[in-house]
C-alpha cells in the first residue's frame, strides 16, 4: 500500500510542481484575479474595476469576494502557497468521499482504493487545470459532493 501512496503523491506533486513552474500569464491566473480584485475592493475601489495583466476581470458575485477576503490579506506568493495546499486537501477529501460512497466490501478494503482514486484525480484534466490556474472548481466540487452525499445517506453504506 505504501507504493500506491507513493504513486499518488508523485502524481499530485507533479501537478503542484507544474503549476509552480508554469510561466506567466498562466501561472495561477485565476487566483491572481481573485486576489487582485478583492485587494482592490478592500482599498475602496470597485470589485469589478480590476483587470489582470492578461485582461481577465473578476466575474464572480460579490458574495464570492467576501469568501475570498482571507486570500487578499496575504501576499500573492503566500496566497498561492496556501491556495495550492488547500487544493491538495480538497483532492484528498474528494477521493475519500468517492471511495466511501462507492467502494463496497466485495471490492476489498476501502483503504486500498484511496491512493488509486487520488492518483486518478491527480492526473485528471479538471484537477490539473484547477491547480495550474488556481481555480475554485475543486472547492465547489467538494461542497457539492458533501451536499449530495449527505442527502443520499452515504454514512449508512
| Structure confidence by residue, pLDDT tens digits, 69-96 | 999 999 999 999 999 999 999 999 999 9
Between CA 121 and CA 45 the distance in angstroms is 39
pTM of the model: 0.88
Contacts of 123 (CB under 8 A, 6+ apart): 11, 15
CA 135 – CA 69 distance, rounded (Å): 15
Residue 52 has pLDDT above 80, yes or no: yes
**Over 70: is that where the pLDDT of 105 sits?**
no
What value does the mean pLDDT take over residues 131-153?
88
Whether the predicted pLDDT of 108 surpasses 70: no
Give the mean pLDDT of 31-55: 91
Asked if the model's pLDDT at residue 107 lies above 80, the reply is: no
| pLDDT for residue 154 is more than 80 | no
Distance separating alpha carbons of residues 75 and 66, to the nearest angstrom: 17
Residue 157 pLDDT exceeds 50:
no
Q: Give the mean pLDDT of 26-53.
A: 91
* pLDDT confidence bin for 150, thresholds 50/70/90: confident
Phi-psi region of 28 (alpha: psi -120 to 50; beta: other; left: phi over 0): left
State yes or no: pLDDT of 155 exceeds 80.
Answer: no
- Nearest in space to 28 (alpha carbons), one of 127, 130, 121, 126: 130
Q: What percent of the chain has pLDDT over 90?
A: 67
Is the pLDDT score of 43 beyond 50? yes
Amino acid at each position: 500500500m505504501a507504493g500506491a501512496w507513493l504513486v499518488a503523491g508523485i502524481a499530485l506533486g507533479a501537478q503542484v510542481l507544474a503549476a509552480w513552474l508554469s510561466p506567466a500569464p498562466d501561472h495561477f491566473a485565476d487566483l491572481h484575479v481573485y486576489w487582485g480584485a478583492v485587494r482592490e475592493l478592500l482599498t475602496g475601489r470597485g470589485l469589478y474595476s480590476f483587470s489582470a495583466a492578461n485582461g481577465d476581470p473578476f466575474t464572480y458575485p460579490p458574495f464570492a469576494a467576501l469568501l475570498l477576503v482571507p486570500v487578499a490579506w496575504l501576499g500573492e506568493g503566500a496566497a498561492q502557497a496556501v491556495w495550492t495546499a488547500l487544493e491538495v486537501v480538497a483532492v484528498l477529501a474528494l477521493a475519500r468521499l468517492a471511495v466511501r460512497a462507492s467502494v463496497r466490501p466485495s471490492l476489498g478494503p476501502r483503504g486500498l482504493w484511496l491512493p488509486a482514486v487520488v492518483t486518478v484525480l491527480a492526473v485528471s484534466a479538471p484537477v490539473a487545470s484547477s491547480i495550474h490556474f488556481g481555480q475554485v472548481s475543486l472547492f465547489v466540487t467538494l461542497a457539492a459532493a458533501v451536499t449530495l452525499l449527505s442527502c443520499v445517506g452515504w454514512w449508512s453504506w
